[in-house]
Each structure stands twice: as C-alpha cells, then as structure tokens.
Amino acid sequence: MSLKQLLFFSFLHFVFFFTLQAQEEVEDFTDEELPFDAVIESEMGGKRMKFYGNTRFNFNQAYFSNWISGGESALTLLYGLDYNFNYSDRSGLVWDTNLLLSLGTTYISGNKFLKKADDRFEIGSLVGKQINQNWSYSGLLNLKTQLLPGYRFYTEDGIEMREQVSQFLSPLILQAGLGWYYKKSTDFRVNLSPVTGRAIIVSKKYTENLAEGKKYFGVDAQKSSKLFFGALITGYYKKEIMKNIIWENNFSIYVNYLENTQNVDFDWNANLRFKVNSKVSGNFVLHLLYDDDLVSDLQVRELLGLGVNIDL
C-alpha cells in the first residue's frame, strides 16, 4: 500500500471514528438539548441568527549573529480569520455560511524576495430545508482561491529570480452540490452531496503557451476551465481535548464519476489551538491535501506559531 493510500484510509478512519464519537458527546450541549421550536419561539419572532468566529496573528522568529554553527535569521508573520454566520427560522430554513482567510509571509536574511507562508481564501455557504431537528435537505456552494500572486523561485547566473505562476482567481475552484446535511451542534456537522458539479477556472494567460500534453492545474492548453461531476462529502468537527486546548478539523472527500474514479481527492485541515491566556495563544496546523488535477502528489502544509488570538 502506498503512502497516499495509507493516509487516505487513515483519514477515512478518522472521519468514521469521530462521527460516532461526536454523536455521543454532543448530548452534553445544554442549549442544543432544547427542541427546535422551544428555542426559536423566544427569539426574533421565530428566527435565529448567530455570528461567531476567530481571528489570529501569529509569528515565528529566529536571529543569528556571528553564530559559529551557522544559521539564517528569519521572520514569519501569519494572519488568519475564520468567521461563521448561522440562520434558521420556524419554517425549517437553515443557512450556514463560513468565511476562511489565511495569509502569511516569510523573510529570510539574504533573500531578495519575501516568500509566502500561507495564502488561502474560501467561502462555503449551505442552504437547507429541515427534515427533522438534525437532518436537512441541502444545497451547497463552495469557492476556493488565493489572494496574492504565487511565484516559482529559481537562481540564474547566481541571481535570485522569480516567475509568477498563479494569482487571485487563478486557479479558482467552484463546487455546487445537492444532498443532505447533518448538524447536531455548531461543533459537529457533515454534508453529503451525491450530486456535485465542480469547476477549475484559470486565467488563459497561463494556458496559451503550454507545451503539448501539459496542463495548468488540470486545465488543458488554450482552455480556461475544466468541469467535473461527482460526489462530495464535507464536514467540521471541534473538540476541547483538554482545558484551553481546542482541536478543529475541516475535511472533504470528492469522487469524480466521469474519469479517474480511482483517484479520490481529499482535504483534511487540522488546527490545534491552545490558549496561554485570554489574548495570547498558539496554534499548530497540519493540512493534508490530495487532488491529482492540481498536483499529482500528496500536498502537506504545517504551521506552528505563537501570537494574539481573538474570539469574535
């Protein structure tokens, strides 16, 4: 079994295990135990809205001067925003929206250019019609891209150079699906979309000069998009594993019905947040991503930082 397959099956085990565990543990939530009508009848004439999220500033720093064993001074700055809007009413309408933004840059002493440490921008919105207190029919729309230009760095005749290879909305990944939504609490939710359209959209300037047989984020030469049809599973799980240590997980699995059905795309973003006090905190991020249309190999992102953390 390859490393990719091992990680994928480990990921499925994680989803299955914590789905079962979460269904048992969410019974501890006091305000979620109330029947749906009992909650909304006392608020806004049958409507319920909730805004909440988290923003954080993290940094890593290293400094060397005349250090005999060597080393390079470096400074990394990270900013993250994770914001949610939840709406429901007496008729059974459910609307959940999430905004995720993460930016980071690294300065290394002696380098000509700043380099990215992180760059993600994602909006996910789900509209549902309740079947019962926990299940709803659902329609999902998700958008993923980056905010700043991406570069390939190289050296030519001893001079550091860079070439722009991506930008805002290139690539842009759009997903829209129909299915069912399970939500026991704000800390655990899963959406099943067996009917999902997906599109990768890019600027044509990156594909017009591609060599024969080459692709740009899965898009063929002279094209600006590629369309897919398949099934999508997305979810979120949060748990306080011990006092002041919170573990958040966002995950998704996508299967393409039309081609390469054996290549299951998965995205697992685990964030461990720990508080020193009400304002100072740290976080550790492990992000595993496999999408053979983007890069035919496992992508790994790991971040560790200390900084200011504000719950909104």
Structure tokens at 276: 């020193």
pLDDT of residue 109: 87
Q: C-alpha distances in angstroms, 110 versus 62, 155, 163, 222?
A: 14, 14, 19, 39
**Residue 131 gets which letter from DSSP?**
S
pLDDT score, position 309? 65
Amino acid at 17: F
Looking at residue 210, the DSSP 8-state letter turns out to be P
pLDDT of residue 301: 85
Domain coordinates in residue numbering, the chain: 3-311
Name residue, tokens 């501890």.
28
The predicted pLDDT at position 185 comes to 85
- CATH fold group of domain 3-311: Outer membrane phospholipase (ompla); Chain C (2.40.230)
Query: What's the CA gap between 264 and 298, in Å, rounded?
Result: 12
Residue-by-residue pLDDT tens, the chain, 312 positions: 454 544 444 544 444 444 444 444 433 434 444 444 434 344 445 678 888 888 888 888 888 887 887 778 889 988 989 999 999 888 899 999 999 999 999 999 888 999 998 999 999 999 999 999 899 999 999 999 999 999 999 999 989 999 999 999 999 999 999 999 999 888 999 999 999 999 999 999 999 989 888 899 989 999 999 999 999 999 999 999 998 899 999 999 999 998 888 788 999 999 998 887 777 778 888 999 998 877 778 898 887 777 776 666
Kind plus residue range of the DSSP H or E element containing 30: none
Residue 46, SS3 per DSSP: helix
| 170 C-beta neighbours (distance < 10 Å), count | 23
pLDDT attached to residue 39: 40
Structure tokens at 5: 């397959």
Residue among 49, 120, 33 at smallest CA distance from 79: 120
**pTM (2 d.p.):** 0.79
pLDDT at site 46? 64
Per-residue tokens: 51: 């805004």
- Give the distance, in angstroms, between the CA of residue 240 and the centroid of all CA atoms in the same chain: 20
